[in-house]
């Protein structure tokens, strides 16, 4: 919990700095690069979280990977966090920055899980559902396929979930029958 609060504070400070300097898009791109690199390379995350590896070596790895690929302002947050011996939260800072960036830009992130790949017509309908629910017209829709749903969909908007899947309906029916 303390790590998530710290990650939020670092991400907020970085966003405030980016807004002040007018480089929000560049910093967002840099944080996405960090997040994508961490998602694709679990060894990097393990290295950053390892208490055995020295902070100097962790910083050297970060410098080798990111120094030439991110802006000076973005790299400065890597430096600050490393000097504070908090490298384990870097990935969380990048994810939190993306969330704060979306709030700043008025983007609503939603995730839809279906049993098949969503076409443009359905994608548009899901985005309309999100807009109707939140009032935000700028929607980033993440799509996942899960054949275990049997049919229907699950739409997650922030901390709300609309479960219209066959599997969800069966589970609700089981719960009702077990109560009776």
Q: Where are the domains of the chain?
A: 2-103, 107-179
Q: What are phi and psi of 49, to 5 degrees?
A: -90, -10
d(CA 128, CA 154): 15
What class has domain 2-103?
mainly alpha
Which tokens hold the place of 5? 């609060």
d(CA 179, CA 176): 5
d(CA 170, CA 32): 38
Q: What share of the chain is helix, strand, coil (3-state, %, to 5)?
A: 65, 15, 20
How high is the pLDDT of residue 1? Answer: 52
Mean pLDDT by 10 residues, the chain (180 residues): 84 97 97 96 94 94 96 94 94 96 94 95 95 92 93 93 93 90
pLDDT digits (tens, 9 = 90+) for 6-28: 999 999 999 999 999 999 999 99
Q: For residue 126, what are the contacts with CB-CB under 8 A and spacing of at least 6?
A: 110, 112, 118, 141, 153, 155
By the 8 A CB rule, do 87 and 52 touch? Answer: no
């Amino acid at each position: 919990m303390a790590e998530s609060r710290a990650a939020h504070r670092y991400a907020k400070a970085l966003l405030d700095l980016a807004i002040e300097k007018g480089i929000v898009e560049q910093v967002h791109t840099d944080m996405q690069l960090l997040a994508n690199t961490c998602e694709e390379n679990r060894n990097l995350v393990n290295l950053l979280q390892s208490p055995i590896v020295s902070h100097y070596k962790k910083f050297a790895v970060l410098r080798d990977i990111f120094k030439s690929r991110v802006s000076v302002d973005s790299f400065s947050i890597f430096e600050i966090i490393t000097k504070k011996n908090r490298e384990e939260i870097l990935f969380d800072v990048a994810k939190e920055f993306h969330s704060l960036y979306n709030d700043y830009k008025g983007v609503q992130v939603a995730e839809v899980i279906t049993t098949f790949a969503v076409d443009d017509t359905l994608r548009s309908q899901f985005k309309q559902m999100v807009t109707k629910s939140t009032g935000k017209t700028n929607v980033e829709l993440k799509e996942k396929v899960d054949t275990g749903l049997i049919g229907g969909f699950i739409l997650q908007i922030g901390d709300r979930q609309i479960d219209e899947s066959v599997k969800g309906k069966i589970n609700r029916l089981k719960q009702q029958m077990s109560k009776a």
